[in-house]
Amino acid sequence: MSSSFVKGMKCRLCGKLYPVSPVNFCQDDFGPLEIDYDYEGLKGVLTKEKLEARTFNMWRYQELLPLEGEPTVGLHVGGTPLIRADRLAKEIGVKTLWIKNDAVNSPTLSFKDRVVAVALSKAREFGLQTVGCASTGNLANSVAANAAAAGMQCYIFIPSDLEKAKVMGTTVYGAHVIKVRGTYDEVNRLCTQVAFKFGWGFVNINLRPFYAEGSKSMGFEIAEQLGWRTPQHVVSPMAGGALVGKISKAFQEFYKIGLLKQEPTTKFYGAQATGCNPISGAVKNGWESHRPIRKPNTICKSLAIGDPADGYFAAKLIRESGGWAEDVTDDEIREGMLLLAKTEGVFAETAGGVTVATARKLVEQGRIPKNEEVVLLITGNGLKTQDSLTTQLGEPVTIGTSLSEFEATMENTREPVLA
Amino acid sequence: MTVKIQIPTPLRPHAGNLASVEVRANTVGEALGELCKLHPAMDQRLFENGQLRRFVNIFINDEDMRYLENLATPVKDGDEVAIIPAVAGG
């Protein structure tokens, strides 16, 4: 099946149209470019029956992803579980709670595999041999792994203080990794200059309009997994701020092409760390433009983007949907990670802790009603940010090999004994 | 004060294909104003309704002007003012 439903590219600020090319900004106002599709043409062509017959991964929705032909990178990405989380729902105080679990996404255990699969497949279509990115961790892992599998060269730029597991989870694939002594925003600025000079396919810079579309697959899957409908509330972590908008776009696109009975009225909630909260700050204060954070300070390094590229659009979407945003402290983040693990058996990275803790806060504040249905986006795996929990988890008890020593440890419990 | 304004690649066609332009000014705002006088095509690229466009960032010696005094930030001899389109995301 070929995908020729891409009409072109469009400026998100002024609407100016552009042909498909590895450029991500408008010549007139530097506004970001977005992919435009032939929705009319897709009506009746992409049906539920047709979709349900395909393998369950992100490429099930290929016609709504921006490639000309078949994907060549990341063929097994997506199709992650949507877990009904009754135990966590009870703790947080809502009627129905779902976890979209991209912590087990393939190949690199974060939702970034979705955006990278699209970006690298598109880079191939453009004939680019070398790709790159600036990253707070998950993107680095994903670009390195997928580029290796695709036989592409890649250059990964990261802040020099990233968690060890995330650095190793990048270098292991043979990528060229450059640690930069600066914040993520400073790394990004450097990469913009490198992209302009070297002409590589930077997934989050010149390939950004294509890259960003990959996140929609998370939204498509959620709608299908819920039985071809959209949830009342979605809580999303925010780093660059693009994810929440792409989930909304996914729901809207399904409706546009006739796959949903009702128009989506989902309310979107953004979750950030208090130590780096430009977007939640904008929402809570009613600012149109976010105020950038010069030196983010939080254990949640994956969301530590002080000047989010999609900050303006995320705040706007959240407001217009009738949602809200909040941010949580480092202690609350750790509590959120542990709560998710202990109630639902899902070990999420710090961003997952941010999302759970924020959802809890929003329910306590009455922003999210208690008797409705909420979906939490869990975007990355806890094994990647182990450093954040070292002081929370106690050491297990250590005993010798005798039964009596074990029994001694059970002395104060009421576990039944058989013999 | 004499400052050097760095022109990013996508804007060079509007500044006579120059990579940098030297101007005399006391603030960042004045420096950009001088640039637009020398190269009028830059004005529409940088400003809309008198305001700096949302996706254009200005750095003074590697410091984002939003952390200083925005366009009112004073400049001194030898300062480098860099125009960076905010085209990178996270």
Q: pLDDT at position B89, please?
A: 65
Whole-number percent of chain A with pLDDT over 90: 88
Q: Which residue of B has its CA nearest to A243?
A: B90
| Number of domains chain A is built from | 1
Q: pLDDT at position A407, please?
A: 92
Q: What is the DSSP string of B32-77?
A: HHHHHHH-THHHHHHEETTEE-TTEEEEETTEEGGGTTGGG-B--T
What are A265-322's pLDDT values in tens digits? 999 999 999 999 999 999 999 999 999 999 999 999 999 999 999 999 999 999 999 9
CATH number at residue A355: 3.40.50.1100
Q: Confidence band (pLDDT; 50, 70, 90) for B88?
A: low
- For the cut 90, the answer to whether the pLDDT of residue A413 exceeds it is no
Least confident of A62-66, A156-160, A195-199, B37-41: A195-199
What are A30-39's pLDDT values in tens digits? 999 999 999 9
Could you tell me which of A382, A312, A393, A306 has the C-alpha nearest to residue A351?
Answer: A382
B41 touches chain A (CB under 8 A): no
8 A C-beta contact, residue B87 and residue A313: no
Contact B89 A309 (CB under 8 A): yes
- For the cut 80, the answer to whether the pLDDT of residue A414 exceeds it is no
Residue type for position B5: I
What are A231-259's pLDDT values in tens digits? 999 999 999 999 999 999 999 999 999 99
Within 10 angstroms of residue A179's Cβ, the number of other Cβ atoms is 14
B19 touches chain A (CB under 8 A): no
Option in B9, B85, B89 nearest A204 (CB): B89
Distance CA A18, CA A353 (A): 40
C-alpha R_g of chain B:
12
Q: pLDDT at position A296, please?
A: 95
Q: Which CATH number fits domain B2-85: 3.20.20.70, 3.10.20.30, 3.40.50.740, 3.40.50.2300?
A: 3.10.20.30
Print burial letters for A286-297: b (CB count within 10 Å at least 16), e (below 16). Answer: eeeebbbbeebe
- For the cut 90, the answer to whether the pLDDT of residue A390 exceeds it is no
Contact B54 A189 (CB under 8 A): no
Mean pLDDT confidence for A214-239? 98
Has residue A273 been placed in a domain? yes
Distance CA B25, CA B33 (A): 9
Chain A environment of B86 (Cβ under 8 Å): 30, 307, 309
Chain A environment of B67 (Cβ under 8 Å): 292, 294
Contacts 24+ apart (CB under 8 A), A388-397: A388/A163, A388/A299, A388/A300, A388/A333, A388/A334, A388/A337, A388/A350, A388/A353, A389/A334, A389/A337, A389/A338, A392/A334, A392/A338
Q: Which residue of B has its CA nearest to A135?
A: B90
Average pLDDT, chain B: 93
Q: pLDDT at position A1, please?
A: 43
Please give the residue that has the higher pLDDT: either A196 or B22. Answer: B22
Quote the tokens at residue A127.
């004939």
Question: 3-class secondary structure for A30-66?
Answer: CCEEEEEECHHHHCCCCCHHHHHCCCCCHHHHHHHCC
Average pLDDT, chain A: 95
Please give the residue that has the higher pLDDT: either A281 or A387. Answer: A281
Has residue A115 been placed in a domain? no
Mean pLDDT confidence for A177-185? 94
Q: pLDDT at position A2, please?
A: 47
Distance CA A235, CA A359 (A): 7
Distance CA A12, CA A205 (A): 16
Could you tell me which of B79, B37, B70 has the C-alpha nearest to residue B51?
Answer: B70
- For the cut 70, the answer to whether the pLDDT of residue B5 exceeds it is yes
C-alpha R_g of chain A:
22
- For the cut 80, the answer to whether the pLDDT of residue A409 exceeds it is yes
Mean pLDDT confidence for A105-123? 98
Has residue A150 been placed in a domain? no
Q: pLDDT at position A175, please?
A: 97
Mean pLDDT confidence for A330-335? 96
- For the cut 90, the answer to whether the pLDDT of residue A418 exceeds it is no
Distance CA A393, CA A335 (A): 11
Has residue A6 been placed in a domain? no
Quote the tokens at residue A311.
């900050």
Q: pLDDT at position B90, please?
A: 59
